[in-house]
Structure 1
């Protein structure tokens, strides 16, 4: 999910990866799951007809995305840059940027729902069985990687991952910033367990819908899964997610406050480069 952490600043990376794929359908196929919560190719083998349909729809959706959505991302990036320049990286401002980013993701989910419905409706029973098995493997792998380790090690690994994500944006973190990242990771506690349990719950809901994929109820059920997935969250994950978002905003506010003038210039330059990369895409100029 593609928006669990640092969405206010780092969601730009996910958009960049997806949009930069406009001229390469294979890259687009691998990165479109950054904009929607699943990727068909991870869970089943498609036949040539299905692949052709998917490739064609991806071209259409990426063209739509570049023409109609990217201009709004440029404005969004300008607002983020303005926050940093004006020293206004506050909890309130980050909540607003987060809402805007989520709305952008929701528009993409709404756009691709009809194509997803057609593709999934055409899946065979064998392919659905492959999907079910792949889901089991996915949850088992994540369980081993993120849950079946002592909590102190989970916290340490989460801190390491976050430091790696932050370094391209801030440069080398100071000792105080590293300490703040450690405090953030500690505050999240055992949230990995609820995240994976909710992921398994979503996958199970999709499989139940696939059992009725030839019924008229399939498209509205899939629309809920893609466009209103929050309505299907487990109560435990809903609570954990709210805490995760709050902790992420607090982390960003504190990291900027702890940053040096050099780090803030570095951040501004990085955001500027992302904006330039967006602005130079051929599909925007065409």
Structure 2
């Protein structure tokens, strides 16, 4: 997942899994940062394709900055209000999460025609290299997230979450730390379902690209990029619903135990994200029009 989508994700995470949100400006200087499907990580483009891709991405970035970012600022306002009122509830988090998902889907839908055009122009060697990259990705994630014992997976997941929460709230209290460990325990072997579903999606993507000249290809890619949840395995669909519910419950409980200093730290971080957005030249230009 690109830095940009990790950023939008936090804030999904006050809804879901608090991600680092300090690179908004950097994301807009890297043209591939808007891509939610991170094709750049898996595909070696030739010079002509790169030139075309960069020009098309400039157009998408302009669209995104002028039409989407103002809505993100409104979203941050709603998030800020929740924190200021100390009203981090399950219902409110579900609403903020749904809003964020809709924003991501809208951007994915906007850029899908460009993705289709690029993929249709790949040669067989590039497709083979993409498939090799997918296989490497799977091996890397299995090594990192499945090879350790379940006990170690739970400990590592807890450490990652605690680090993210520390970034946003400052040091956690012992009670908050215990709640994070309970959250990680409740997820159990979720890593297995996550990685299996990721491999499942990559296999379907590869199969679609193999048939990239067929009349059904554009619709297939749109489904893979915009409606990917419709292709989830039943096991992962159930696991994901549980993961979301557990994440919301964690955040509600951690915030219920938060101190005024922690909430002030969180508001400061939210304001930093807002400043990163409002400092973007494209947004300033859009507001002057």
Q: Give the TM-score normalised by the residue count of structure 1.
A: 0.92
Partner of 2:237 in structure 1?
A: 238
- Cα 1:269–1:102 change in 2 (3 A) is same
The SS at the match of 1:45 is: coil
Partner of 1:74 in structure 2?
A: 73
Alignment of 1:203-214 (within 5 A): 203-214=202-213
C-alpha distance in 2 between matches for 1:18 and 1:209: 32
Q: Does 1:28 align with 2:27?
A: no
Q: Which ranges of structure 2 fall in alignment gaps of 5 or more residues? A: none
Deviation of 1:124 (Å):
0.5
CA contact (8 A) 1:156 1:185 kept: yes
Partner of 1:128 in structure 2?
A: 127
- Cα 1:105–1:178 change in 2 (3 A) is same
The SS at the match of 2:87 is: coil
C-alpha distance in 2 between matches for 1:142 and 1:132: 16
Partner of 2:180 in structure 1?
A: 181
Q: Does 1:158 align with 2:157?
A: yes
Cα distance per residue 1:235-275 (max 9 Å; x no partner): 00000000000001001101111111111111111111211
Cα distance per residue 1:204-260 (max 9 Å; x no partner): 111111111011111000000011000000000000000000001001101111111
C-alpha distance in 1 between matches for 2:10 and 2:278: 25
C-alpha distance in 2 between matches for 1:90 and 1:270: 20
C-alpha distance in 1 between matches for 2:262 and 2:58: 38
Cα distance per residue 1:18-41 (max 9 Å; x no partner): 56533x2xx232x334xx1x3222
CA contact (8 A) 1:6 1:252 kept: no
C-alpha distance in 1 between matches for 2:96 and 2:196: 28
- Cα 1:148–1:5 change in 2 (3 A) is farther
Q: Which contiguous aligned blocks of 4+ residues in structure 1 show a shift greater than 4 angstroms?
A: 1-6, 10-16
C-alpha distance in 2 between matches for 1:225 and 1:186: 31
Q: Give the TM-score normalised by the residue count of structure 2.
A: 0.91
Partner of 2:110 in structure 1?
A: 111
Deviation of 1:136 (Å):
0.8
How many residues are paired up?
279
Q: Which ranges of structure 1 fall in alignment gaps of 5 or more residues? A: none
Deviation of 1:201 (Å):
0.5
CA contact (8 A) 1:5 1:245 kept: no
Partner of 1:216 in structure 2?
A: 215
Partner of 1:7 in structure 2?
A: 12
Over the residues paired in the alignment, what is the CA RMSD in angstroms? 1.9
The SS at the match of 1:214 is: coil
C-alpha distance in 2 between matches for 1:145 and 1:157: 10
Alignment of 1:42-57 (within 5 A): 42-57=41-56
